[in-house]
A and B are shown apart, each in its own frame.
Chain A
Amino acid sequence: MVVHDDRAMTIQVSDHQSDALAEIFNIGVGRAASSLSQIVNDEIGLSAPMVEFVPPDDIMRVMTGHEFDHLSMVAQEYTGPFDARAMLIFPEQNALIIVGKMLGDVVPPDQLGEFEQEAMCEVGNIILNACISSLADLFHVEFQGSLPTYQHATREDIDLLSGIRTDVPVILVIKVNLVIRQQSIQGHLLFLLSVSSLIELLAHIDRYLESLGLD
């Protein structure tokens, strides 16, 4: 995988590194799954079957299909050895299914109301924090995390980069698959990274692989 930077710098992400990332995120979403399962008192499965790096302009290419016309997004800012805006994005319909199942399938609204948005915010909070705390544990580092915010956007007016001052040449995209009460729901985890944050992330992965004797 090759990431191109505007300054004509090319950053190579090896298969080893992306495999390690996939593994770390699977540990993270696994933790989130057990937290969510405890809340609903039922088995919730979460897996992260795919990890890729995508330039911001291409992000909507990753999310093709009508279901992505209306998006439900939960965002948190993380600062630490590297900084990232992390987002959990579900097509609004999928978010409604998740919230509907979490709330015990009471009358499903056709849009996320305040109540549902709050529930979705917490689901996002659980998943994002679980991923970041796995990273922190495995890399032996510390991050500071903000409170989550909820946003609804259409495909046309989506603005992932709002309020970000640094250049974001790359987005780490992790496809997530959530299984709740026999229903499988797709979404995406996004980590918006600056070049220096990406380099820092890769360095931490290398150190982690080294510690496992896998460099």
Chain B
Amino acid sequence: MELAVILDAIAAGIAVLDQDGRILAWNQWLVRHSGISEDIAIGRPLTEIFPELSSHPRMMESLHQSLSHCLASIISPSIHRPPLPLYRDGAKRQRQERLQQLIHITPIRINGLTACMLQVQDVTAAVQREQRLRDQSAELVVHNQQLNAQLQEIHSLQAEIAAREAQDPLTGVLNRRFIDKRLKALLQTGTPTTLMMVDVDLLKRINENHGFSAGDVVIQALATHLKNSLPSPGCSLGRYESDAFLLLLPDIALERSREWITQCHQTFVSQPVMHEGTPLSASFSAGLAFYPKDGASESELIQCLDLTLFLARHEGGNRILAYDDARNSMF
């Protein structure tokens, strides 16, 4: 059988080189894509046919390893530009657009001598497809990043809206709805808690003497003062009525809570609240109750606080009273 006929029929480039790198076989596929005829190629060193190969270290190394060490190599288009000047057609040749090449260099034995075979596959379509996929996936990554950024923005807006929903606009502490929710949650879990109702003394008089904005300033100052000195991060502070705040101190005993609010009271009354350059002296009263000792439900506990606060005011305000003290003084 004529071997050359088979070589010419193969849909890939096949060249066989002798020990010195001279071309022994050069199939039709190579003729077609290199523009170099078999007559010219046979007997010449491959590096003479393609002079630029000499400056391609990987190709030279692979040929050397094949011819002197009998080792096979693969040269893949994923990490190399096409090493050989092979073109699909005349137009591509003019534009210098080489076809993408997957090259196998394998040692073979011919008549007891080492030779090597070059197989060149045209993988242009696969490389282009790969490139398109890569471009698309790069676009997807960018798109994904944008979506993630937008999602993050939505989350932070949602968090901001949720925070605003929970906030009292004047003081920035929790509003009535949310402090109620916190109280309900603590009762549901049965967490022992000190409750406090804190009320600005004589707010009406401040409003009458200095205007409503002065009253607001005092309320703001008290809210800030309480918020900044809360005894633990688990404590909550909410505006319960226009001049009253509800504080929840979970897992803090009544006596410790009383010490804390007494300290708080002293520092608050010792410093005047400034309003439009005028110092206002302001004070507050606080009523304390303890869950579960003083009541089991929200309404019971709030009643205890109301009653205690009423007594504190009745006794002239500017004082701290616990529900126990209030009950003793009443009965």
Contact = CB atoms under 8 A, between A and B. Distances in A.
Interface of A: 35, 38-40, 76, 99, 102-103, 106-107, 109, 113-116, 118-119, 121-123, 125-126, 129, 132-133, 136, 142-148
Given A35-B57, A107-B141, A147-B104, A122 B70 contact: no
A114 B133 CA distance: 12
16 contacts: A35-B57, A99-B78, A102-B79, A107-B134, A107-B141, A109-B137, A115-B78, A119-B78, A123-B79, A132-B71, A133-B69, A133-B71, A143-B69, A145-B70, A145-B72, A145-B107
A157 B33 CA distance: 44
A125 B79 CA distance: 13
Contact of A107 (B78, B104, B137): B137
A142 B69 contact: yes
A123 B72 CA distance: 13
Nearest to B105: A147
Contacts of A147: 72-74, 104, 106
B221 interface: no
B82 to A, nearest CB: 14
A133 to B, nearest CB: 5
A143 B130 contact: no
Interface residues of B, number: 26
Contact of A129 (B71, B102, B134): B71
A119 B79 contact: yes
**Residue with the highest number of chain A CB atoms closer than 10 Å, among B73, B78, B134, B138:** B78
B153 interface: no
A121 B79 CA distance: 11
A112 B230 CA distance: 56
B72 A121 contact: no
A135 to B, nearest CB: 10
Contacts of A148: 72, 74
